[in-house]
């Protein structure tokens, strides 16, 4: 399927446009190439990059916990700081240090009770969400991976 770019006035494939669920056809009216040029021009204006950097700096300095009540997390920013220090600024599961991450550690919690279990990185938090309450699946995954690891080892032997 094709779409007409309102900026460069050319017909292009729909995959050359960003998706936009608020549009009738589901795609932004300007192609990705024209959009990139617009962004480049905007960022070249005096002071714009300084504003962007300042906004990013402020976002990084925000206190943890602004949205915890929405998610039913029973923890204060002070408790987060204590836990953070207890865990030596590392993910409780994989042990990656906060300095290696782009975002701060997430609060892993029980969705029924709001009880906090620990601070984890985003990939570990996602993994917990997928496998939580699926202990039989975890065992099957372990068996599956063990099988394939053993098979690969057997194939490498002379």
pLDDT tens per residue, range 76-135: 888 999 999 999 999 999 999 999 998 889 999 888 888 889 999 999 999 988 888 787
CB 63 within 8 A of CB 80: no
CA gap 27, 79 in Å, rounded? 44
Which ranges in the chain are annotated with CATH 3.40.1800.10? 67-158
pTM above 0.85, yes or no: no
Give residue 155's pLDDT: 63
- Give the pairing type, strands 2-4 and 11-13: antiparallel
State the CATH architecture for 67-158.
3-Layer(aba) Sandwich (3.40)
Query: How far apart, in Å, are the Cα atoms of 5 and each of 13, 31, 38?
Result: 10, 6, 13
Return the bridge partners of 97, or none.
90
2 φ, ψ (degrees, to nearest 5): -120, 160
pLDDT tens per residue, range 17-35: 999 999 999 999 999 999 9
């Amino acid at each position: 399927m094709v779409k007409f770019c309102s900026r460069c006035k050319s017909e292009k494939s729909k995959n050359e446009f960003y998706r936009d669920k608020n549009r009738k056809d589901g795609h932004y009216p300007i192609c990705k190439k024209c959009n990139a040029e617009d962004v480049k021009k905007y960022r070249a204006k005096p002071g714009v990059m300084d504003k962007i950097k300042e906004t990013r700096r402020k976002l990084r300095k925000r206190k943890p916990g602004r949205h915890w009540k929405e998610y039913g997390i029973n923890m204060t920013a002070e408790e987060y700081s204590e836990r953070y220090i207890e865990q030596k600024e590392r993910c409780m599961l994989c042990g990656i240090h906060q300095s290696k991450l782009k975002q701060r550690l997430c609060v892993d919690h029980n969705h029924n009770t709001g009880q906090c279990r620990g601070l984890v990185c985003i990939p570990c938090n996602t993994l917990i969400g997928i496998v939580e309450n699926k202990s039989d699946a975890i065992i099957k995954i372990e068996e599956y991976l063990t099988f394939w690891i053993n098979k690969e080892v057997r194939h490498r032997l002379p």
